[in-house]
Amino acid sequence: MNDLPYDKLIEFANRNYLKNRTIVSRDIYSIIEDIEHTTGLSVKYNKYPTGKEYGTWIIPPSWNVIEAWLKNSKGEKIASYDDHPLFLCPYSKATHCKLSKKDLLPHVFSEPKRPDAFGYNWRYAYDANLRLKDWGISLPTNVVKQLPEDTYEIFIETDVEDSEMIIGEICLKGDNEEELVFLADYCHPGQMNDSFSGLIMFMKVMHTLAQRQSRRFTYRFLFMPETIGSAVYISNNPNCLKKMIGTIFSEMVGWGDQWYIKMTRRGNTYMDTLAKNCINAFEGIQSSEFFSIYGNDELMFDSVQASVPSLSVQKYPFEEYHTSDDIVDKVKQNNIKKAHDMICYLVDILEKDNIYKFIHHVPFWMTRFNLHSDGQHEPEDFSFKFDLVYRYLDGNTSVAELATKLNTSFEKVQNFIEQMYEHHLIKKKDDKYLKLIKKRD
């Protein structure tokens, strides 16, 4: 299996990002099929039928747009679904009527910050009190400002039918059943950076991990509609939480002002240790608190109920957020690569990390094994080795944790650990490491 080229990911995005990407629609099947085709990895289709309840979340019917437009009294079309899918708010009810400007405007959503773009009004899809009970459209702010007093005709024809919500799943088995789970959304119609950039990035991550001859742990990728997908998956698979080391959610990695890794709800888990090592290894990455700025599927997995430590990797803010200006052409290849490399770096630490314990009851004779650094001529290395050997390597702390305590790279600590291990000065404590990475408090 060769590398998954960036061009293939962009081709996938162009084929699919303007489709009716909502909670349940006929387009979702083709999107998930294309994920399988593009990655070459087998996808499991988890299907949840319309009307069934999972932890208070009820699966909606399939909502499919046949035609939708707004015309003035002269029959001139002002805007339509054909112009952009954001014209019609997902899960609007069908309607055909004439109404005044005064009666029209309460149904119109616009985004003043991007006055020439359609805005994303997600409330009809996610609000139980609005879904299929009312209708809404989006118009650019500059269009709304120019609407004269007139009689307007709105036409919305949809096909609503019982179906299934689909959660796609790719699983790469490892030597251990403990697993790291990646989360991405396929929803947000007509938008690229918001949700779809994280999706294509994780497609590349899974393709990369699939090429490895061996994996210490299991890696699972879930792609689904935002929030409700995670809620339903957890509710239907509560036992899966016990095997999870953590989850990583990602979106908005195509472009933006600042890279962030958002920490877990508790802020002191092993997943937070992985994040700190990643922030130390890559330039320009900042940490932020759980549910800072934006929050998404990590909130479901790291809730007090599910309690799986969850990180989020994002680049924000970006001006085109929730508008039709969020297009494929704005994605920067180096950003997708950086996000991919960050995730793979976290995986590499998880794969290599362990807890070690000294074999002897006294500190070992460093010069005998050529592991000593002179305090006068090599003060930095001397301090590093002194602190590691005499202060921190206590048989309870992993290599990644040691690196954060020493404020240095994982690679530097791991290199010295390996040298000590080769000289039979320390031994691995695999059982303690497995307990550490699954610790919830």
In Å, what is the CA distance from 328 to each residue of 103, 192, 197, 248, 315? 35, 6, 9, 23, 16
Strand partners, 64: 159
Closest CA to 294 of 215, 362, 198, 377: 198
pLDDT in tens, 378-412: 999 999 999 999 999 999 999 999 999 999 999 99
Q: Tell me the C-alpha distance between 28 and 16, whole Å.
A: 9
Q: Report phi then psi at 420, rounded to 5.
A: -65, -40
Q: Tell me the C-alpha distance between 197 and 255, whole Å.
A: 9
Q: Tell me the C-alpha distance between 48 and 236, whole Å.
A: 9
How many CA atoms lie within 13 Å of 69's alpha carbon, on the beta-carbon side? 12
pLDDT in tens, 305-314: 999 999 999 9
State the pairing for strand pair 285-288/258-262.
parallel
Token pair belonging to 420: 């000590």
Closest CA to 65 of 118, 108, 125, 117: 125
- CB of 438 closer than 8 Å to CB of 245: yes
Answer whether 6-59+164-352 and 62-161 agree in fold. no
Closest CA to 392 of 376, 379, 408, 378: 408
pLDDT band at 354 (very low <50, low <70, confident <90, very high): very high
Q: Report phi then psi at 54, rounded to 5.
A: -130, 105
pLDDT in tens, 142-201: 999 999 999 999 999 999 999 999 999 999 999 999 999 999 999 999 999 999 999 999
Q: Determine the topology of domain 62-161 in CATH.
A: Glucose Oxidase; domain 1 (3.50.30)
Residue 180 host element (H or E): strand 179-185
- Kindly state the percentage of the chain with pLDDT values over 90: 97
Q: Tell me the C-alpha distance between 269 and 264, whole Å.
A: 7
Find tokens 């950003």 and name the residue: 335
In Å, what is the CA distance from 95 to each residue of 44, 83, 90, 106, 153? 37, 19, 14, 15, 10
Residue 41 host element (H or E): none
Terminal Cα distance for the chain, rounded: 40
State the pairing for strand pair 62-71/77-80.
antiparallel
Q: Can you give the pLDDT at residue 283?
A: 96
pTM for the structure as a whole: 0.97
177, burial (CB in 10 Å: exposed 0-12, middle 13-18, buried 19+): exposed
- CB of 139 closer than 8 Å to CB of 118: yes
Q: Where are the beta strands (DSSP E) in 72-107?
A: 77-80, 95-100
Closest CA to 198 of 414, 13, 356, 67: 13
- Is the domain 6-59+164-352 a CATH 3.40.630.30 member? no
Amino acid residing at 52: K
Closest CA to 308 of 236, 250, 234, 252: 234
pLDDT in tens, 30-58: 999 999 999 999 999 999 999 999 999 99
293: left (phi over 0), alpha (psi -120 to 50) or beta: left
Token pair belonging to 46: 């988890």
Give the start-to-end residue ranges of the domains of the chain.
6-59+164-352, 62-161, 356-437
Q: Can you give the pLDDT at residue 295?
A: 81
pLDDT in tens, 196-237: 999 999 999 999 999 999 999 999 999 999 999 999 999 999
Residue-averaged pLDDT of the chain: 97
Per-residue pLDDT for 422 more than 80?
yes
Strand partners, 90: none
pLDDT band at 1 (very low <50, low <70, confident <90, very high): low
Angle ∠(8,13,19) on CA atoms, nearest 5: 145
Per-residue pLDDT for 293 more than 80?
no
Token pair belonging to 49: 């039928």
Q: Can you give the pLDDT at residue 291?
A: 80
Strand partners, 223: 168, 184
Alpha helices in 120-254 (DSSP H): 123-126, 141-145, 196-210, 228-236
Residue 420's contacts (CB-CB under 8 Å, 6 or more residues apart) are 356, 364, 369, 371, 426
Token pair belonging to 286: 């900042």
Residue 58 host element (H or E): strand 57-58
Per-residue pLDDT for 440 more than 90?
no
